[in-house]
Chain A
Amino acid sequence: MRTLSLGLSRTRYEVRGYFRAGDTVFFTFLFPVVMLAIFSTAFSASGSFGTRPDGSEVGAAAFYLPGMIAAGILLSGVQNLAVDIALERGDGTLKRLSGTPLPVGSYFVGKFGQVLVTSLLQVALLVLVARVLFGVPLPTDAGSWLTLAWVYLLGIATSALVGIALSRVPRSGKSATAVIVPITLVLQFISGVYLPFTQLPDWLQSVASVFPLKWLAQGMRSVFLPDTFSAAEAGGSWDLPGVALWLAVWLVAGAVASLLTFRWIRKDT
């Protein structure tokens, strides 16, 4: 109980800190929104990306929205936590906290809480921008929203755990951004966020299919794009069981790696 209530206090503290750090607000929170705005504007003249069953056209904003939501989930989880925890390990935050009676569980409740709050706001902002500025119609059936809910929750949990595991990779807090950002950036380019996935060479598609972002983006496309678009997917269908499976594999891998590598008190280094 104490772990949970202190975790909620950590969440408030972490969310406040997140929005006061200008660089994370831009590179993690606003980045997908900015990219959505740029892509939607730049390709608005390219005409239609396809048509819906009711005959209306799928424009650039509608086409890019699912990918940007998926990218946002990756950034809010992986990039945010990997950089944040590496910084906290490097600058003495972890050492100071581990000398207090704060349970390590509360620290993680705080991190997960921060990721959940900031990424929910981010997804809401992306959907709002798409709807209000670019007139993207939103799904009207309960099934799509249900899919959005589970793909989102599975995706954000996986991203957060992978982020915690990756936080051990940078050798110092100072190098954290330089080490982590290229990883998430490359993933965005090969996973169908900016470039249509099936336009990539086959071998690159195979490589990307190992990583979770490709599946996350595919799951989001199934929510926001008409079913006819599923024919353009690599397997010719949305393959939601595949989405669930691959995200679950990364969820478990991230959890195991986090448990094995995270040290609250790092002794004798």
Chain B
Amino acid sequence: MTPEPVVRVHDLTKTYGTATALHGLSFEVAAGETLGLLGPNGAGKSTTIEILEGYRDRSGGDVSVLGADPQHAGLDWKARLGIVLQTSGEQGTATVREQIAHFAGFYPNPRDVDEVIAAVGLEAKAGARIRSLSGGQRRRVDVALGVVGGPELLFLDEPTTGFDPEARRQFWQLIRSLSDDGTSIVLTTHYLDEAAQLSDRVAVIAQGRLVAQGRPDELGDEEARTPRVTWLDEHGRHDVRTSAPGALVADLHARGGEPRSLEVIRPSLEDVYLGLVATAEHVADGTRGATDAGDAQRASSSGVTS
């Protein structure tokens, strides 16, 4: 039997006065799944996640999180959630261990404090006041406070902003281990590689609409994921989209020998994502030629050579 989805969102709308921030989103998060919410600034990611967390009230539609409506859920419901908010600038007079141990006391079945400190890589800073930490270290404390309650469902709103590459890799390890333990995760991020690394599925929000969702390697339509072959000859640069790049390269080689500056580019998640966002923005602007603009975005962004 399939367990109930931990998050179920149907036709969610949110308006602020006359402005509409969300135009009818629908998606689900299955138990144990990690969903990456992607979208440009102002697209509605944080509004969506804050509605799921109970920080904001929706204007319309249905939302169920761990079987409850976040607008009316109580402390027992909160005890099953872990929330890592976007930014924090707290005074930080407590030490790392004091802060995490204090928060652990709020939950009925908290995780071991030292284990959590180790998981976020702050053993060396456990006795330091939080205000003496660097931005990336403080962010790790935020993450520790979000996971110390042993949540069934974890919300991470841009968790690795300000991390150096090594800290991000460590953080990914932590999230994977939580996911392996069965924690369901909803993640927003601006880093497409992070979304690709961590998410079972990604959903792209642009202009308050869900424009695509799927596995990171299956996002977008066939067209958007079609590889490109580029090379140089006496006529200049060629850029051909083809679903059979091998055949094209073999044909080129058969006709003219080794092509100059040959590249076979498979669109990365980032390329597909930028195309989706550009398309959504052009639709919203009511302009024609959205697909061309999307292609231009894809062509101008760096691709991955396969």
Which chain A residues have a beta carbon within 8 Å of chain B's beta carbons? 6, 9, 13, 16-17, 20-21, 87-88, 91-93, 95-96, 98-103, 265, 267-268
A sample of 4 more A-B contacts (CB under 8 A), given A92-B87, A93-B91, A96-B88, is: A20-B129, A91-B90, A92-B89, A268-B16
Nearest chain A CB to B155 CB, angstrom units: 9
Chain B contacts for A88, CB-based, 8 A? 90
Chain B contacts for A103, CB-based, 8 A? 75
Minimal Cβ-Cβ distance residue in A for B145: A96
Contact B90 A93 (CB under 8 A): yes
Whether, in the assembled complex, B54 has its beta carbon less than 8 Å from a beta carbon of chain A, the answer is yes
Contact A95 B55 (CB under 8 A): yes
Would you give 7 A-B contacts (Cβ < 8 Å), ordered by A? A9-B102, A20-B129, A21-B91, A87-B91, A98-B55, A99-B53, A99-B83
Whether, in the assembled complex, B81 has its beta carbon less than 8 Å from a beta carbon of chain A, the answer is yes
Report the separation of the CA atoms of residues A13 and B91 in the bound assembly, to the nearest whole angstrom.
Answer: 13
Report the separation of the CA atoms of residues A118 and B94 in the bound assembly, to the nearest whole angstrom.
Answer: 18
Chain A contacts for B91, CB-based, 8 A? 17, 21, 87, 91, 93
Give the number of residues in B that approach A within 8 Å (Cβ atoms). 30
Whether, in the assembled complex, B133 has its beta carbon less than 8 Å from a beta carbon of chain A, the answer is no
Report the separation of the CA atoms of residues A103 and B94 in the bound assembly, to the nearest whole angstrom.
Answer: 21
Report the separation of the CA atoms of residues A100 and B149 in the bound assembly, to the nearest whole angstrom.
Answer: 9
Contact B85 A99 (CB under 8 A): yes
Partner of A6, one of B89, B94, B105: B105
Partner of A101, one of B53, B75, B85: B75
Chain B contacts for A95, CB-based, 8 A? 55, 85
Knowing A16-B93, A99-B53, say if A92 contacts B107 (CB, 8 Å): no
Contact B56 A92 (CB under 8 A): no
Minimal Cβ-Cβ distance residue in B for A268: B56
Whether, in the assembled complex, B79 has its beta carbon less than 8 Å from a beta carbon of chain A, the answer is yes
Nearest chain B CB to A130 CB, angstrom units: 30
Report the separation of the CA atoms of residues A215 and B145 in the bound assembly, to the nearest whole angstrom.
Answer: 45
Knowing A17-B94, A100-B103, A268-B57, say if A92 contacts B88 (CB, 8 Å): yes
Chain B interface, >50% SS class:
loop
Contact B93 A21 (CB under 8 A): yes
Contact A99 B78 (CB under 8 A): yes
Knowing A6-B106, A17-B91, A20-B93, say if A92 contacts B75 (CB, 8 Å): no
Contact A265 B78 (CB under 8 A): no
Chain A contacts for B75, CB-based, 8 A? 101, 103
Report the separation of the CA atoms of residues A6 and B55 in the bound assembly, to the nearest whole angstrom.
Answer: 22
Minimal Cβ-Cβ distance residue in A for B78: A101
Contact B93 A17 (CB under 8 A): yes
Contact A13 B94 (CB under 8 A): yes
Partner of B55, one of A20, A91, A267: A267
Knowing A100-B149, A101-B76, A268-B56, say if A13 contacts B102 (CB, 8 Å): yes
Report the separation of the CA atoms of residues A213 and B79 in the bound assembly, to the nearest whole angstrom.
Answer: 42
Report the separation of the CA atoms of residues A6 and B54 in the bound assembly, to the nearest whole angstrom.
Answer: 22
Contact A92 B83 (CB under 8 A): no
Report the separation of the CA atoms of residues A102 and B88 in the bound assembly, to the nearest whole angstrom.
Answer: 18
Chain B contacts for A17, CB-based, 8 A? 91, 93-94
Report the separation of the CA atoms of residues A21 and B91 in the bound assembly, to the nearest whole angstrom.
Answer: 9
Contact B106 A96 (CB under 8 A): no
Within 8 A of A (CB), among B105-124: 105-108
Contact B94 A92 (CB under 8 A): no
Contact B56 A96 (CB under 8 A): no
Knowing A99-B78, A100-B149, A268-B56, say if A91 contacts B85 (CB, 8 Å): no
Within 8 A of A (CB), among B212-233: none
Within 8 A of A (CB), among B241-295: none
Chain B contacts for A6, CB-based, 8 A? 105-106
Chain B contacts for A91, CB-based, 8 A? 88-91
Report the separation of the CA atoms of residues A21 and B94 in the bound assembly, to the nearest whole angstrom.
Answer: 10
User: Which 5 residue pairs across A and B have the least CB separation, nearest first?
Assistant: A101-B79, A99-B83, A20-B93, A17-B93, A92-B88
Contact B55 A265 (CB under 8 A): yes
Nearest chain A CB to B249 CB, angstrom units: 53
Report the separation of the CA atoms of residues A93 and B94 in the bound assembly, to the nearest whole angstrom.
Answer: 13
Partner of A96, one of B57, B81, B85, B149: B85
Partner of A92, one of B85, B102, B149: B85
Chain A contacts for B88, CB-based, 8 A? 91-92, 96
Report the separation of the CA atoms of residues A103 and B85 in the bound assembly, to the nearest whole angstrom.
Answer: 19
Chain B contacts for A99, CB-based, 8 A? 53-55, 78, 81, 83, 85
Minimal Cβ-Cβ distance residue in B for A94: B90
Chain A contacts for B98, CB-based, 8 A? 13, 16
Chain A contacts for B102, CB-based, 8 A? 9, 13
Contact A100 B78 (CB under 8 A): yes
Report the separation of the CA atoms of residues A17 and B99 in the bound assembly, to the nearest whole angstrom.
Answer: 11
Contact B54 A265 (CB under 8 A): yes
Chain B contacts for A16, CB-based, 8 A? 93-94, 98
Contact A101 B94 (CB under 8 A): no
Chain A contacts for B129, CB-based, 8 A? 20
Nearest chain A CB to B265 CB, angstrom units: 42
Report the separation of the CA atoms of residues A16 and B98 in the bound assembly, to the nearest whole angstrom.
Answer: 10
Interface string of B45-86 (1 = CB under 8 A from A): 000000001111100000000000000000110110101010
Chain B contacts for A87, CB-based, 8 A? 91
